[in-house]
Structure 1
Amino acid sequence: MQESTVTVKGQTTLPRDVRAALGLASGDRVRYIILEGEVRILKARSVKELQGMLARPGRKAVSLEAMDDAIAEGAAQSAGAER
């Protein structure tokens, strides 16, 4: 378990092992997620870094228009099922 001390200004130094686990370097930004009394620290990523994250080998990319059409079709089917 890693620990660090909080200063009077609310600052702390992330331990080396934590920085290594998150792949953090000087100047990187972190995000804090608070869930039920616990805090998770994540390396902040730019939108550009997310490109291709959901790509699957052998599957063709889907356009935004195709996604919108699929959402509209699913909504229409859902509305029909409720009747």
Structure 2
Amino acid sequence: MKINSKGQVTIPAPLRAKYNLHEGDEVEVIEFGNVLQIVRREDSLTRGQRLVRHMRGRGKGTMTTDEIMKMMRGDEWGEV
């Protein structure tokens, strides 16, 4: 790995997958003796929490569960 001109590094995809790291996750770099460690911030929101925060309040109108299921199944257009 190389550090770019902005001091950034890219965590390889296999390590991101292994440690369940996603775009937007917050991490910290901690000095431990003569070693730097990258750790997930304990107070950071999960990917799902960030999505819910982003989407909250964006819905328009209300639908019942039955209406949503009908729409998802395509029942409105006579499909099975």
User: What TM-score do you get using the length of structure 1 for normalisation?
Assistant: 0.46
User: What TM-score do you get using the length of structure 2 for normalisation?
Assistant: 0.47
